[in-house]
Structure 1
Amino acid sequence: MNGFIGELIGTAILIAFGAGTGANVNLKKTLGRGSGWLFITVAWGFAVAFGVYAAGQFGADGHLNPAVTLGFAAFGYFPWAKVPAYLAGQFIGAFIGAALVILHYYPHFKAAKGAEDGNSVGIFATGPAIANPLFNFLSEVIATFIFIFVLLNLGDFTTGLKPLIVGFLITMVGQSFGGTTGFALNPARDLAPRLAYAVLPVPNRGDANWGYAWVPIVGPIVGGILAAGLQFLIA
């Protein structure tokens, strides 16, 4: 239960801060509307860092990400017996975090009549700058591979300043590889908030773009497994 609760709380914090940044940057009449890519990538970095800190305090390993959990488990870095609880905590936590953002920004969603006013699924989930399924998939594989390979070489990343280092790593991945697909890196971070936008009573909401949703699910999982596999071969 500690793993489930820790991952739920940590992932909820991650998405509340991350999607909250998306809402602040995009929605009509918010004070942060129009802030740039640096603002977004730094915010997501800190969102991950604080989520990891919180998860660690509740006894979880601070994965917050099925690609991390599955990649680690595939090569013996994490026990398979804990995988279901971790995945459940991550997806439920991500949905809760997105719901909090919808509640907080409800008047702004109500004032935003459509995508031109920033009311789109992009607040919560990723999408491609250029729609090319193969290269979008490869972008997510490459970005997640680099992220998780570095993560594997940080040791216990829930203690001391390690979560902040993870946050800087996320920011760096976003700065270098995020311009193609928005660097999902994380199936729970993308799928659960996309679902929340689709099923919760968001005023004036747009399309959830389900046709693209497989990319930020499958790509990060493949990237995570490849990273753990390389670590297993060379460590």
Structure 2
Amino acid sequence: MTAFLGEVVGTALLIIFGAGVCANVNLKKSFAYNSGWIVITFGWGLGVAMSVYAVGQFSGAHLNPAVTLGLAFNGDFPWSQVPQYILAQMIGAIIGASITYLHFLPHWHATKDPGVKLGVFATGPAIPHVFSNLLSEFIGTFVLVVGLLSIGANTFTDGLNPFIVGFLIIAIGISLGGTTGYAINPARDLGPRIAHFLLPIPGKGTSNWGYSWIPVLGPALGGSFGGLFYKAIFTGKVTTGFWVVLILTLAILGAAYLSDRKLTLSQKVEKLSTEN
């Protein structure tokens, strides 16, 4: 198996487990219906572990463009392979989401809420707020990449490493995931969102493209800075990239904050106009 195919297969498996547990918990007439957030976080975490076990020997099992970027910025992965890895991850995510759709085929008819159907495939904010949503995805992915690099710096019994990585995903989901659904992976959100848009899901509604850039950009920035931060703080090698990505992130977050402030002010003005 080539590294490219390994990333396709591994990411597809990840989405089958991850989108699968979201479908299992949220689609009507599933025996797991309403079993809750803890089940979802464990489903994603164990899904990551199983996917890493499956393809780690072939590709290193990044399964996430943010991880690929973080490793490249940290110096552990060649930049020349970054584009093909991200392409493979996107293809795998679309395939995994399509298989999940087929697995739960009769349950789409049984479930009426289009938001629930979209939630099987893609993330969304608990409270829509561009700055906070972007920051949440940044922080979650930053923790992911720093956590992965920290795990990699330790020695485990043979074969245990992927299981520990799975618990890192569970920890992020339980502690930080409730704000945006913790995409922490551009391919995990964008690939299934594309599948949602293309698949003939009955009563599916919109794919919420207006939000779709946040679980792509937030994790990309968080993963990149996570790799640079680990290199700077844990190994003492501060690069130009560290400052460039930090300034870029602050600029983007600042623009998001100002956008939210402007929106809030315009809403207040509109409310006052209506009242008068």
TM-score with structure 2 setting the length: 0.81
Question: Residues 114 and 203 of structure 2 are in contact (CA less than 8 Å); yes or no, is this contact kept in structure 1?
Answer: no
> Which residue identity lines up with residue 167 of structure 1 in the other structure?
G
User: Shift in Å at residue 209 of structure 1?
Assistant: 0.8
- Runs ≥4 residues deviating over 3 A: 156-159
Q: Does 1:122 align with 2:97?
A: no
Q: Which residue of 1 aligns with 2:252?
A: none
Structure 2: tracts of 5 or more residues without a match: 236-276
Higher relative contact order (CA 8 A, sep 6+): 1
User: Shift in Å at residue 115 of structure 1?
Assistant: 3.3
State how many pairs are aligned.
232
Q: Which residue of 2 aligns with 1:26?
A: 26
Residues 133-186 of structure 1, C-alpha deviations (whole Å, 9 max, x = no match): 000000000111111101012228996111110000000000110010011000
Q: Does 1:175 align with 2:164?
A: no
Decide which moves more: 168-177 or 149-158.
149-158
Q: Distance in 1 between matches of 2:196 and 2:178?
A: 23
From the two aligned structures, give the one with the greater helix fraction.
2
Q: Distance in 2 between matches of 1:206 and 1:171?
A: 30
> Which residue identity lines up with residue 97 of structure 2 in the other structure?
A
> Which residue identity lines up with residue 216 of structure 2 in the other structure?
I
Q: Which residue of 2 aligns with 1:204?
A: 203
Bigger radius of gyration:
2
RMSD, matched Cα: 1.7
Q: Which residue of 2 aligns with 1:2?
A: 2
Q: Distance in 2 between matches of 1:172 and 1:128?
A: 19
Q: Distance in 2 between matches of 1:128 and 1:113?
A: 20
1:136 pairs with 109, 133, 138, which one? Answer: 133
Q: Which residue of 2 aligns with 1:231?
A: 230
CA separation of 1:156/1:6 partners in 2, compared to 1, >3 Å: closer, same or farther? farther
Q: Which residue of 1 aligns with 2:84?
A: 85
Secondary structure in structure 2 of the residue aligned to 1:146: helix
Secondary structure in structure 2 of the residue aligned to 1:233: helix
CA separation of 1:156/1:89 partners in 2, compared to 1, >3 Å: closer, same or farther? farther
Q: Distance in 1 between matches of 2:146 and 2:111?
A: 40
Q: Which residue of 2 aligns with 1:155?
A: 152
Q: Distance in 2 between matches of 1:227 and 1:195?
A: 27
TM-score with structure 1 setting the length: 0.94
